[in-house]
Structure 1
Amino acid sequence: MTAHDLLQANLLSPPVLCFALGALAVAVRSDLRVPEPVFAALSMYLMLSIGLRGGAELAHVSPQAVAGPIAGALLICCTIPLLCYAGLRQFGGLSTPDAAALAAHYGSVSAVTFAAVTAMLDRQAVPYEGYAATLLAVMEIPAIIVAISLARMAKTAQADRVLATGGGAALLGGTGPIMRGGGQALLAEVMSSKSVLILIGGLAIGTLAGHASLAKVKPFFVDLFPGALCVFLLTLGHMAASRAGDFRKAGLFLVGFALLMPLLHAMLGLGIAYAVGLSLGGAIILATLAASASYIAAPAAVQLALPEANPSLYLTCSLAITFPFNIMLGLPIYQAMAQALYG
Structure 2
Amino acid sequence: MEVLLDFGARFVHQLQSPTLAFLLGGILIAALGSRLTIPDAIYKFIVFMLLLKVGMKGGMAIGEADIGAMLLPALIAVFMGCLIVIIGRYTLALLPGIRTEDGIATAGLFGAVSGSTLAAGTVVLESEGIPYEPWAVALYPFMDIPALVLAIVLASVYLKKKKDGAGEKVAIWPIVKESLQGSALSALLLGIALGLFTNPDRVFESFYEPLFRGLLSVLMLIMGIEAYARLNELRRVAHWFAVYAAIAPLMNGLIAFGLGTIAHYLVGFSPGGVVLLAVIAGSSSDISGPPTLRAGIPTANPSSYIGSSTSVGTPVAIALGIPLYIGLAQAVFGA
Shared fold (TM-score, shorter chain, > 0.5) = yes
Correspondence for 2:249 among 258, 266, 273: 266
Post-superposition shift, 1:202? Answer: 0.8
Contact kept in structure 1, 2:85 and 2:147, CA below 8 Å: no
Which of 8, 11, 17 is matched with 2:12 structurally? Answer: 8
Instruction: Specify the SS of the correspondent of 2:36.
Output: coil
Give the counterpart of 1:57 among 45, 57, 61: 61
For residues 204-242 of structure 1, give each alpha carbon's deviation from its aligned partner in whole angstroms, at most 9, with x where no partner exists.
1101124xx422332211122122211211222222222
Question: In structure 1, what residue type is equivalent to 2:147?
Answer: M
1:134-213 matches, cutoff 5 A: 134-145=142-153, 175=164, 179-210=168-199, 213=200
> Structure 2: how far apart are the matches of 1:256 and 1:222?
37
* 2:213 alignment partner, one of 226, 240, 243: 226
Number of residue-to-residue matches in the alignment: 300
The alpha-carbon distance between structure 1 residues 126 and 20, as it changes in their structure 2 partners (threshold 3 A), is farther
Q: In structure 1, give the amino acid aligned to 2:247.
A: L
**Which one of the candidate residues 242, 256, 261 is aligned to 2:229?**
242
- Residue 132 of structure 1 pairs with residue 140 of structure 2: yes
Residue 311 of structure 2 is aligned with which of 299, 306, 328?
Answer: 328
Distance 1:293 1:216 in 2: 20
Q: Distance in 2 between matches of 1:111 and 1:222?
A: 25
* 1:286 counterpart = 2:286: no
9-18 or 227-236, larger mean C-alpha shift: 9-18
Conserved in 2, the CA contact under 8 Å of 1:103 and 1:147? no
Structure possessing the higher radius of gyration over alpha carbons: 1
Residue in structure 2 matched with residue 166 of structure 1 by the alignment: none
Q: Are the equivalent residues in 2 in contact too, given 1:22–1:237 (CA < 8 A)?
A: yes
1:114 aligns with 114
Distance 1:293 1:256 in 2: 25
Deviations 1:97-118 (A, max 9, x none): x64x455424423799736656
Letter in 1 for 2:216: L
Indicate how the Cα distance of structure 1 residues 8 and 247 shifts in structure 2: closer, same or farther if over 3 A, else same: closer
- The verdict on how the C-alpha distance between 1:88 and 1:259 changes in structure 2, with shifts beyond 3 A counting, is closer
Q: Report the alpha carbon displacement of residue 57 of structure 1 after superposing the two structures with TM.
A: 0.7
Report the more deviating stretch, 15-24 or 108-117.
108-117
Displacement of 1:149 in angstroms is 7.0
Q: Alignment RMSD, CA only?
A: 3.9
Q: 1:218 to 1:296 in 2, by over 3 A?
A: closer
How far off its partner does 1:52 sit? 0.3
Q: What are the Cα deviations for residues 72-113 of structure 1, in whole angstroms up to 9, with x where unaligned? A: 33333433444344446875388xxx64x4554244237997
Q: Of 31, 35, 44, which aligns to 2:39?
A: 35
Whole-angstrom CA distance in 2 between matches of 1:229 and 1:262: 22
Distance, in Å, in 2 between the alignment partners of 1:112 and 1:42 is: 20
Mean Cα displacement is larger for which, 36-45 or 85-94?
85-94
User: Normalization by structure 1: what TM-score?
Assistant: 0.71
Question: Which sections of structure 1, spanning at least 5 residues, go unmatched?
Answer: 156-173, 304-310
Does the aligned pair in 1 maintain the 2:84–2:252 contact within 8 Å?
no
Q: For residues 156-178 of structure 1, what are the alpha-carbon distances to aligned partners after superposition, in whole Å with 9 as ceiling and x for unaligned?
A: xxxxxxxxxxxxxxxxxx94898
Question: Runs of 5+ in structure 2 lacking a partner?
Answer: 127-135, 261-270, 328-335
Partner of 2:64, secondary structure, is coil
What is the SS of the residue equivalent to 1:92? coil
Q: 3-state SS of the aligned residue for 1:108? A: helix
Q: Tell me the secondary structure at the aligned position of residue 61 of structure 1.
A: coil
